């Protein structure tokens, strides 16, 4: 039997905004619906994100700010270059899939996401007409844009279960939605977008109207405990460390998924994941 598929580095951004509910403040989260023919999480509602490309790890230092990758390398259990890759991929994929760009001009002025050059770059990236990482960096240079990693807060890390044919080691970040930008699906990888408060998203999922994959579900459960974006960001930043979690998928005799187990669940088969001495 072949072994588990190789794991690829990836990044996801949980984009949040504050909203005024009838009787209290609330948080809304951006969810995008994956294309029904997608190779991973088809038709599921997810946070924007994707795979780290080689060029993400080499983005020139004048095109980003707000990060000391060497200082946080231990927190990510990764090299400084790999940490940079996680951050660049997080911003790049969020821009591609939702149209939100966590960046500013060289002079500190905000990005006009409705500008033809910005819209055109996003459309090219989504359609894969542009080269992946390298063209993004070249475009940032031409437009004199600087990615703002200070807007991202490291929240969690999830590794795809071993039975999946496509596997990812994904860093999840929180980010407040830019106030002057409007999110929308790219109509290529993602087909719809919704802003939902976490409790409503969970209710829709349990009612069978909103398909969520396990890390999305667990993240929404965590978010439901926080009434504001500031509270969620503060809680994520206050974590002494960020744990890497690899769930276990239990299969029936025909190889169909029965349930997903978290490493903290009493039935989790820890013996299957123990490293040999």
pLDDT above 70 (res 129): no
CA separation (Å) from 76 to 244, 247, 274? 9, 19, 21
Q: What is the pLDDT of residue 42?
A: 74
- Give Cβ neighbours of residue 177 (< 8 Å, ≥ 6 apart): 15, 16, 17, 30, 100, 183
DSSP strands (E only) in 100-179: 103-105, 145-148, 153-159, 167-176
- Contact 85/56 with Cβ under 8 angstroms? yes
Q: Are 176 and 150 in contact (CB under 8 A)?
A: no
| Residue 224 or residue 4, greater confidence | 224
Contact indicator for 56, 10 with CB cutoff of 8 Å: no
Residue 23 has pLDDT above 80, yes or no: no
| Arithmetic mean of pLDDT over the chain | 90
For residue 132, pLDDT beyond 60: no
What pLDDT score was predicted for residue 99?
A: 94
Domain ranges of the chain: 7-246, 247-277
Give the residue-averaged pLDDT of 8-17: 97
pLDDT range class, residue 276, cuts 50, 70, 90: very low
Average pLDDT score over residue span 215-226: 96
pLDDT confidence of residue 130: 47
pLDDT of 44 above 60: yes
Angstrom distances, CA of residue 72 to CA of 1, 4, 276: 38, 29, 29
Q: What's the rounded Cα separation, in Å, for the pair 164 and 4?
A: 8
| Class (C level, CATH) for 7-246 | alpha beta
pLDDT(137) > 70: yes
Per-residue model confidence (pLDDT) at position 134? 52
Mean pLDDT of 196-217: 95
DSSP per-residue letters across 220-231: HHHHTT-SSHHH
For the residues 236-264, what does the mean pLDDT come to? 91
**pLDDT value of residue 153:** 98
- Give me the mean pLDDT over the 45-63 stretch: 95
Q: Which of the pair, 254 or 247, is modelled with greater confidence?
A: 247
Predicted local confidence at residue 133, as pLDDT: 47
Cα separation values, 217 from 5, 31, 129, 180, 204, Å: 23, 12, 33, 28, 11
Q: Averaged over 183-204, what is the pLDDT? A: 92
Residue 260 has pLDDT above 80, yes or no: yes
The predicted model gives 113-127 an average pLDDT of: 87
Question: What was the pLDDT predicted at 12?
Answer: 98
**pTM above threshold 0.85:** yes
- Considering only 121-125, 167-171, 237-241, which range has the smallest mean pLDDT? 121-125
Q: Are 165 and 7 in contact (CB under 8 A)?
A: no
* Contact criterion met (CB below 8 Å) for 93 and 14: no
Give 258's pLDDT tier (boundaries 50, 70, 90): confident
Res. 222 pLDDT band, cuts 50 70 90:
very high
């Amino acid at each position: 039997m072949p072994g588990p598929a190789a794991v690829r580095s990836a990044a996801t951004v949980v984009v949040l905004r504050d909203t005024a509910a009838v009787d209290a403040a609330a948080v809304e989260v951006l969810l995008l619906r994956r294309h029904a023919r997608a190779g991973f999480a088809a038709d599921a509602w997810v946070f924007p994100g994707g795979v780290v490309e080689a060029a993400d790890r080499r983005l020139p230092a004048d095109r980003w700010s707000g990060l000391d990758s060497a200082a946080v390398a231990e927190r990510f259990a990764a090299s400084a270059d790999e940490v940079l890759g996680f951050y660049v991929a997080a911003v790049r994929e969020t821009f591609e899939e939702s149209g939100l760009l966590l960046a500013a001009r060289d002079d500190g002025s905000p990005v006009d996401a409705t500008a033809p050059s910005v819209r055109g770059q996003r459309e090219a990236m989504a359609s894969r007409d542009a080269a992946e990482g390298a063209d993004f960096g070249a475009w940032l240079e031409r437009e004199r844009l600087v990615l703002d990693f200070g807007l991202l807060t490291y929240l969690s890390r999830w590794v795809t279960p071993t039975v999946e044919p496509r596997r990812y080691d994904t860093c999840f970040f929180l980010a407040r939605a830019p106030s002057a930008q409007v999110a929308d699906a790219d109509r290529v990888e993602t087909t719809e977008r919704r802003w939902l408060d976490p409790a409503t998203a969970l209710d829709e999922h349990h009612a069978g109207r909103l398909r969520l994959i396990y890390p999305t579900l667990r993240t929404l459960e965590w978010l439901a405990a926080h009434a504001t974006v500031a509270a969620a960001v503060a809680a994520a930043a206050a974590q002494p460390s960020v744990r890497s979690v690899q769930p276990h998928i239990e299969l029936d005799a025909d190889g169909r998924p029965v349930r997903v187990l978290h490493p903290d669940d009493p039935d989790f088969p820890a013996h299957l994941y123990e490293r040999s001495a």
